[in-house]
Amino acid sequence: MPENKKRALITGASAGLGRVVALALAERDWELIIVARGADRLEAVRSATRATAVAGDVADPAVRARIASAVGDKGLDLVLNNASALGPSPLPMLEHYPLDELATVFETNVIAPLAILQLTLPALRAADGVAVDVSSDAAIGGYEGWGGYGASKAALDQLTNVLAAENPALRIYSFDPGDMRTDMHQAAFPGEDISDRPEPETVVPTLLQLLESRPPSGRYIASEVAVAS
């Protein structure tokens, strides 16, 4: 394997944005470590990308230990914290939000990404890598029903913000891809037609632009990032 081959860790890699980013980086000859709960779909991505696959829930410390083992002592050029939990579907109003479900959402969307960055920061520093935490417009908008998910993404934004301030030598981004036609977005709108939402593939060029241009750490919205033609 070439010494200069780039490496990435991608969570939530079996579907949606995580899957298409994994496929795009594999086409560019990156070495990948991919993580997701859906073992069958993850295996399909592993087969297509020749990645190292870790099947399991990022909220599980035992799974994170397996991720750390897969990362090993080599550098990482990218950590993409993409795995997310929507919470109950249909989306409940906060007045009736089950608190145990809210705790699960925060475990997946806030605690797990931070835990993964805690264990991968040495590898990122070794490669002068980039960390990307996938956010949402629900982190800053007051949308009915989105209180649990939105609050978790707002918390993730702030963790990302502070982690960037504490690690000025690294590039650490909060990335809002916008609405996409994904299984999770469909679960947020059960029974509705979401075919008007763009496919996740449309966001990949923007994310690649961030990785290549390395602007200052911060929060970036996909629709506002200029992509080089």
**Cross-strand partners of 33:** 9, 52
- From the candidates 97, 143, 149, 173, give the one annotated as an active-site residue: 149
Rounded Cα distance, 174 and 95, in Å: 29
Which residue from 227, 151, 211, 181 is spatially nearest to 19, judged by alpha carbons? 181
Contact indicator for 178, 137 with CB cutoff of 8 Å = yes
**Whether 133 contacts 160, CB under 8 Å:** yes
**Which residues have C-beta within 8 Å of that of residue 83, sequence separation ≥ 6?**
11, 12, 18, 35, 36, 37, 58, 108, 112, 113
Q: Which SS3 state, helix, strand or coil, does residue 214 take?
A: coil
Could you say which DSSP state residue 51 is in?
-
In one-letter notation, the amino acid at residue 209 is Q
Tell me whether residue 143 is one of the annotated catalytic residues: no
Q: Which residues are catalytic?
A: 149
